[in-house]
Amino acid sequence: METVERIKQQIAEHPILLYMKGSPKLPSCGFSSQASQALMNCGEPFAFVDILQNPDIRAELPIYADWPTFPQLWVEGELVGGCDIIIEMFQKGELQSLIKDVAERHPAPEASE
C-alpha cells in the first residue's frame, strides 16, 4: 500500500490519532511527551503512530498534512495541530471537551474475553 494511502486509512480508522515520536508511555521527544500527556489527561483512549518506527510516514505526512512538524493530532479526519496547539487547547479546557465529544460519538469496541 502506498504511504499516503496508509496515512489516509489510519486517519479514517481512528477518530483520535496522534502521530508522534515514540509512544505515549515512552515518548522520544519533549513535544510528543507533552502532547500525549495532554491527551491521556483527557481520559479517553486514542490511537498513535510512532513515526520513528515508520520513516515512510515521517517523510510523507508533513507533505500530506501541509504541517511540517510532529506530533500531529488528528480528530475525526481533521488535523487539529501540533504540540503548542494541543497544550493551548488543553489549558483552555477545549481539548477535553473535543476528545470527550468524539469518544462519545465513536465508542470503543467492547473487549471480548
Which three-class secondary structure state does DSSP give residue 74? strand
* Residues tagged in the binding site annotation for glutathione: 21, 58, 70, 83-84
User: Distance between CA atoms of 66 and 106, rounded to whole angstroms?
Assistant: 26
Closest alpha carbon to 71 in 105, 91, 57: 57
* Residues tagged in the binding site annotation: 21, 29, 58, 70, 83-84
Rg (CA), the chain: 13
- What the block records as the C-alpha cell of 108 is 470503543
User: Distance between CA atoms of 66 and 62, rounded to whole angstroms?
Assistant: 5
Which three-class secondary structure state does DSSP give residue 37? helix
* Residues tagged in the binding site annotation for [2Fe-2S] cluster: 29
